[in-house]
Structure 1
Amino acid sequence: MGLFTLVEDRPTPKAVYNWRVYTCAAIASFASCMIGYDSAFIGTTLALPSFVGEFGFAEMSKDHLALTKANIVSVYQAGAFFGSIFAYATSFYLGRKKSLWIFVTVFILGAGLMLGANTARGLGLIIGGRVLAGIGVGGASNMVPIYISELAPPAVRGRLVGIYEAGWQIGGLVGFWINYGISEHLAPSHTQWLIPFAVQLIPAGLLLFGSMWIRESPRWLLTKGRREEALKNLCWIRNLPADDLYLIEEVAAIDAGLEYERIHVGPGFWKPFAALRQKEVLWRFFLGGMLFLFQNGSGINAINYYSPTVFKSIGVQGTNTGFLTTGIFGVVKTVLTFIWLLFLIDKLGRRKLLMIGATGGSLCMWFIGAYIKLSNPAANTTNTKLSSGGIAAIFFFYLWTAFYTPSWNGVPWVINSEMFSQNTRSLGQASAAANNWFWNFIISRFTPQMFIKMDYGVYFFFASLMIFSVVFVYFFIPETKSIPLEAMNRLFEIKPVSKANKQVILELQESEEDFRHDAEGAGLSVEKTKDSRIENVVADV
């Protein structure tokens, strides 16, 4: 098999892999640009001399300053937690597209509010604006992976949902570098620190206008009985006519999945909550939450939000030097995200990436922690040049980035976007996103205090959690690569999980062969059988 060979559950027309589905995914992923930018720019902005001077950070005690920074950063995650839950309601009643409109508008209001902060008004507008912005990105983080997964052909679903992660990294890259650029070229002033806050509005505006062009999810429309509109949108997204066999089979599979869910879960806003009494449904919710616990337990958001603190602990000194080191971290993450997106996620699959990434990342964290324990670089305030051990620690930090980025950075979002059934997908994604933002909040809220109290132990803590995640993935997470959304129930029934993917793919291929064999055995051509299916499935078009 070649590098770009796609593993398909059934013969798929090339027209299905068209520009429309990629463009819809890209436009929706402007939401992740908003999220990525914020996660990157806020830590370095808080370290800008102009920001420090305007809000009196130099006069604060060490503990007071740590608490103030933690509050500025963490209220965003708190807002995102609630936004991800609110999105379940808007998604159920209004759909994926209109939900994006609502939450990007809330984000724009929050970002605009932050621009009004100054010395006289204090930090209140920034904190309030970050709460609103958090609600906006929390809702978007729920909606976008669902929307993309429901549009995506199975063979490239990981790649398409990966565009969401790529948007996150592109936003992060800009966020990591912007403060280095303005600190180099602008004198400290009110305008200097205001610029990075204002840049948040760019991806938000692009999403607001781009979402007017994208189409509503056909799967969501079918759940609401809007069949004609659903089939019209599906034809447009797949670039196929309504009577194409691939399209007929896809609609039939969705209908069968909806009927199964109607019997076992039931329609309605509250039915998915009732479905949590079924252990197989509750189990998937648990798996989704644990994936994000381990993602945040890797240490990524401690690094994202407090990168100057992290690099200072390794021995990097000077504001601009810290910004430059952070910027390189953003470049490494972005480049590796595109490698993951184009070559790895739909080739190696989800399980292997998670286990390899956690194993390698843990070893790197152990080394960094050991270096800090033995050398205590933070105590050396006279020599600004890194020692050979410090250079090695920086190397292992970037190596950790190389292990983490193609694995735990985006894979949990991909798995959560695809592993739930149609009637529980919105609630499942709301649960997953809420878990992400909850653990994100815990890390961002207490990281400054952790570095004060634990020092090098912070790195050992993250290293240990990454080792635990390998065991968790091996025993509990099946490979979802190339499995149609309607076959996820079957995938999670099979034990051991290491063999589930191959068995389901084999069953799907045998089912396709049986259908064609039965048609030919009955003296019917596949085209005639297709005509029969057209009458049953799309007679109302």
Structure 2
Amino acid sequence: MNFTTSLLRSPIKRYRDSLRKAGPKVVWSPSLLYSAAFFAGTAIPATWDQGSASVLPSLPGFQEQFGISSGSSGSQLRNFISLIYIGYAVGAALSFPVNDWMGRRASFRIYSSIYIVGQLIAILAPNKAAMYASRIVVGIGIGSLANLGPLSIAEIAPPEMRGLLSAWFGIAMSLSLVVSTFMTYGIYLHLPPSRLQYQLVWIVPCVFIFLCCIASFFVCESPRWLELADRSEDALSTLVRLRRLPFDHERVQAEYQQIRSAVQEERVAFHGFRSVSGLGRLNSTVRELFTVSSNVRRLHICLVSYALAQLSGANTITSYFVPILNIAGIAEGNKAEGIMLSGFYAVAKLVFVTLASFVFIDLLGRRRSLFFGATLQGCTDIYMAVYLKVRQDTGVSASASETALAMLFLHAWGYIVGLFIMPYVFGAELWPTRIRSLGGAISGIFHWLFLYAMQVALPSLLDRTHNWGAFVFFASWCLVAILYTHFMIPEVSGLTMEEIEAVFKGSWFNANTVSKRPRTMSGISPKDEDNATGNERADSKSKTVASEGVV
């Protein structure tokens, strides 16, 4: 195979062609981009809290108010960092009935109100007990928002752009992490010690979320939810607005018919969306989730994906970044330098998420990204384990310490490219409409409770394994992730939400076989693409068709 042929069959070329076939009207639809950006913004509260929580305890005003003596002590920060994830789990559980009965936009306003109330409790908290209680309330709002965003984007996005638009959620998370960390750093440098130091950090996201509540009246509702709620005319008109195409355009009609067919299947399963009681519908949904093999497989992949993402150590390193720097002998005893490095770490994650969104997720596909990311993470974990062991035994050079810092940043890069996309992109696009809210809710509950356990356990894990053993633990799970991806994770890049169903039929261990079958995001095999004539290629540019996946 010569270079030209390889280039023509490359993921980059096929990705470019799929966007061309979608057409500029679809790709640059203002309603689509605005709505996707809005729902991506639901990620901001989560990482605003994660970024600020990792450095807030270093502020003198926070330490004095809540009786914390050291911002680099993992044992003192354990409850402050971890309690919020209990709220996350509760919020994820509540999101199932609210999302399906209220719709995506109304649900956003409810969750945002809960979040703002929790933040106000934290701002006015007179002592540590009240602050801990506020963390759970804030977590309920964040957990619901974090579940709502990815599934909403997956429902409004065209197949060619679903991975890219879903990755905006990750970009918003990283951007929020950067802003919150550097804001805290600026407050540490320029604001005198007082309660206002930490109160400002908590007020800013409240203002943002309030403005988003106003903006929610102008975003598009999910066409799939509208059809599910027996609002067919609204569903079709919303789809026309999202795709910026005429009502009678073949792409709009094909996509609407796919949505309608999926909803009709649900009506058969539920005996009518509005005709049964809430408890009866819940029973039907639960029965379908746990008795249909393809759905059980979806649930299995989502739960394992969330677990592997946390067991790789990425989120715990972010939350305990300052204590880990102290363990590694980097910025030891220097609060300002520790906060500054946390900010640079957040900037790096933002850059990594952006690169992953535009290069890896849709261009290379889910599986290749996972293989690359988990391998890189495991290698950096091994270096950190060796570095910490040698440092404890004989001491290390300055260059070794600088390399260790670089490895922490590369660890974040590996996570963003690989295991990060499993829960937030891959997990969001797996579910059929009729069980998406329940599947997302169960996955979210598991995710946040598992993350809570990891956040609570990390200080003890570091202590019991003499610090270096924790990174061996993380590396081992990266290896498990590589093996799991090879056997269990199918490639769904470029498939419609309805076409993904076919991928999950058959053996659970057919992922590697299915993913080797030639296909592109437009449903045309590489061989057919090579045989296409120039006239056919030119003609394809004037047509906008629904993406079809060959399974």
Q: Do the structures match in fold with TM over 0.5?
A: yes
Aligned counterparts of 1:341 and 1:450: Cα–Cα separation in 2 = 33
Aligned pair in 2 of structure 1 residues 506, 453: CA closer, same or farther (>3 Å)? closer
Aligned counterparts of 2:519 and 2:359: Cα–Cα separation in 1 = 21
Structure 1 residue 200: Cα displacement? 2.6
- Compute the TM-score of the two structures, normalised by the length of structure 2: 0.85
Q: Please name the residue that 1:517 is paired with.
A: none
The 8 Å contact of residues 47 and 177 in structure 2, kept in 1 or not, is answered as yes
Aligned counterparts of 1:15 and 1:369: Cα–Cα separation in 2 = 51
Aligned counterparts of 2:524 and 2:56: Cα–Cα separation in 1 = 57
Q: CA RMSD in A?
A: 2.6
The 8 Å contact of residues 6 and 156 in structure 1, kept in 2 or not, is answered as no
Are residue 308 (structure 1) and residue 322 (structure 2) matched? yes
Please give the residue correspondences for 1:295-334 in structure 2 after superposition, counting only pairs within 5 Å.
295-316=309-330, 317=332, 318-334=334-350
Task: Find the partner of 1:14 among 5, 18, 24.
Answer: 24
Are residue 369 (structure 1) and residue 374 (structure 2) matched? no
Secondary structure class of the residue paired with 1:483: coil
Q: Please name the residue that 1:102 is paired with.
A: 110
Are residue 76 (structure 1) and residue 76 (structure 2) matched? no
Q: Please name the residue that 2:40 is paired with.
A: 29
Are residue 251 (structure 1) and residue 259 (structure 2) matched? no
Aligned pair in 2 of structure 1 residues 4, 106: CA closer, same or farther (>3 Å)? farther
Secondary structure class of the residue paired with 1:347: coil
Structure 1 residue 163: Cα displacement? 0.7
Q: What does the per-residue CA deviation read over 1:488-536, in whole Å, with 9 as the maximum and x for residues that have no partner?
A: 110112562124256595798489xxxxxxxxxxxxxxxxxxxxxxxxx
Are residue 337 (structure 1) and residue 350 (structure 2) matched? no
Are residue 241 (structure 1) and residue 246 (structure 2) matched? yes
The 8 Å contact of residues 7 and 155 in structure 1, kept in 2 or not, is answered as no
The 8 Å contact of residues 89 and 445 in structure 2, kept in 1 or not, is answered as yes
Aligned counterparts of 2:371 and 2:519: Cα–Cα separation in 1 = 22
Q: Please name the residue that 2:462 is paired with.
A: 451
Aligned counterparts of 1:227 and 1:112: Cα–Cα separation in 2 = 40
Q: Please name the residue that 2:472 is paired with.
A: 460
Are residue 476 (structure 1) and residue 488 (structure 2) matched? yes
Please give the residue correspondences for 1:526-541 in structure 2 after superposition, counting only pairs within 5 Å.
none
Please give the residue correspondences for 1:134-213 in structure 2 after superposition, counting only pairs within 5 Å.
134-213=139-218
Aligned counterparts of 1:79 and 1:423: Cα–Cα separation in 2 = 26
Aligned counterparts of 2:246 and 2:306: Cα–Cα separation in 1 = 40
Q: Please name the residue that 1:485 is paired with.
A: 497
Aligned counterparts of 2:245 and 2:216: Cα–Cα separation in 1 = 23
Structure 1 residue 400: Cα displacement? 1.4
The 8 Å contact of residues 50 and 192 in structure 1, kept in 2 or not, is answered as yes
Query: Deviation above 6 Å: which 4+ runs of structure 1?
Result: none
Aligned counterparts of 1:332 and 1:211: Cα–Cα separation in 2 = 30
Letter matched to residue 180 of structure 1: Y
Q: What does the per-residue CA deviation read over 1:83-136, in whole Å, with 9 as the maximum and x for residues that have no partner?
A: 01100010121111111111011001111111112xxx2112321221111101
Aligned counterparts of 1:430 and 1:504: Cα–Cα separation in 2 = 34
Q: Please name the residue that 1:288 is paired with.
A: 302
Letter matched to residue 286 of structure 2: F
Secondary structure class of the residue paired with 1:485: coil
Aligned pair in 2 of structure 1 residues 509, 356: CA closer, same or farther (>3 Å)? closer
Structure 1 residue 335: Cα displacement? 0.7
Secondary structure class of the residue paired with 2:221: coil
Letter matched to residue 195 of structure 2: H
Aligned counterparts of 1:488 and 1:81: Cα–Cα separation in 2 = 27
The 8 Å contact of residues 350 and 415 in structure 1, kept in 2 or not, is answered as yes
Q: Please name the residue that 1:85 is paired with.
A: 93
Task: Find the partner of 1:273 among 286, 300, 306.
Answer: 286
Aligned residues: 501
Letter matched to residue 254 of structure 2: E
Secondary structure class of the residue paired with 1:58: coil
The 8 Å contact of residues 117 and 138 in structure 2, kept in 1 or not, is answered as yes
The 8 Å contact of residues 32 and 141 in structure 1, kept in 2 or not, is answered as yes
Secondary structure class of the residue paired with 1:101: helix
Q: What does the per-residue CA deviation read over 1:326-372, in whole Å, with 9 as the maximum and x for residues that have no partner?
A: 11111110011111112221101111111110111111011111111
Structure 1 residue 243: Cα displacement? 0.9
Q: What does the per-residue CA deviation read over 1:211-232, in whole Å, with 9 as the maximum and x for residues that have no partner?
A: 1211211101111211011111
Structure 1 residue 191: Cα displacement? 1.7
Structure 1 residue 186: Cα displacement? 2.1
Q: Please name the residue that 1:430 is paired with.
A: 441
Letter matched to residue 254 of structure 1: I
Aligned counterparts of 1:366 and 1:125: Cα–Cα separation in 2 = 41
Worse-superposed segment, 212-221 or 264-273: 264-273
The 8 Å contact of residues 9 and 505 in structure 1, kept in 2 or not, is answered as no
Structure 1 residue 4: Cα displacement? 8.4
The 8 Å contact of residues 34 and 203 in structure 1, kept in 2 or not, is answered as no
Are residue 396 (structure 1) and residue 407 (structure 2) matched? yes
Q: Please name the residue that 1:406 is paired with.
A: 417
Please give the residue correspondences for 1:222-233 in structure 2 after superposition, counting only pairs within 5 Å.
222-233=227-238
Q: Please name the residue that 1:497 is paired with.
A: 511
Task: Find the partner of 2:366 among 350, 369, 379.
Answer: 350
Q: Please name the residue that 2:278 is paired with.
A: none
Aligned pair in 2 of structure 1 residues 368, 237: CA closer, same or farther (>3 Å)? same
Task: Find the partner of 1:387 among 369, 380, 398.
Answer: 398
Worse-superposed segment, 401-410 or 22-31: 401-410
Aligned counterparts of 1:372 and 1:81: Cα–Cα separation in 2 = 34
The 8 Å contact of residues 272 and 424 in structure 1, kept in 2 or not, is answered as yes
Task: Find the partner of 1:46 among 31, 45, 57.
Answer: 57
Aligned pair in 2 of structure 1 residues 227, 83: CA closer, same or farther (>3 Å)? same
The 8 Å contact of residues 92 and 269 in structure 1, kept in 2 or not, is answered as no
Q: Please name the residue that 1:515 is paired with.
A: none
Are residue 113 (structure 1) and residue 121 (structure 2) matched? yes
The 8 Å contact of residues 59 and 188 in structure 2, kept in 1 or not, is answered as yes
Q: What does the per-residue CA deviation read over 1:238-284, in whole Å, with 9 as the maximum and x for residues that have no partner?
A: 11121111111111111222233444676533312011122221111
Q: Please name the residue that 2:265 is paired with.
A: 260
The 8 Å contact of residues 481 and 501 in structure 1, kept in 2 or not, is answered as no
Structure 1 residue 67: Cα displacement? 5.0
Letter matched to residue 50 of structure 2: S
The 8 Å contact of residues 9 and 482 in structure 1, kept in 2 or not, is answered as no
The 8 Å contact of residues 18 and 522 in structure 2, kept in 1 or not, is answered as no
Aligned counterparts of 2:208 and 2:421: Cα–Cα separation in 1 = 20
The 8 Å contact of residues 372 and 417 in structure 2, kept in 1 or not, is answered as no
Aligned counterparts of 2:339 and 2:310: Cα–Cα separation in 1 = 23
Secondary structure class of the residue paired with 1:403: helix
The 8 Å contact of residues 495 and 521 in structure 2, kept in 1 or not, is answered as no
Letter matched to residue 311 of structure 1: L
Secondary structure class of the residue paired with 2:173: helix
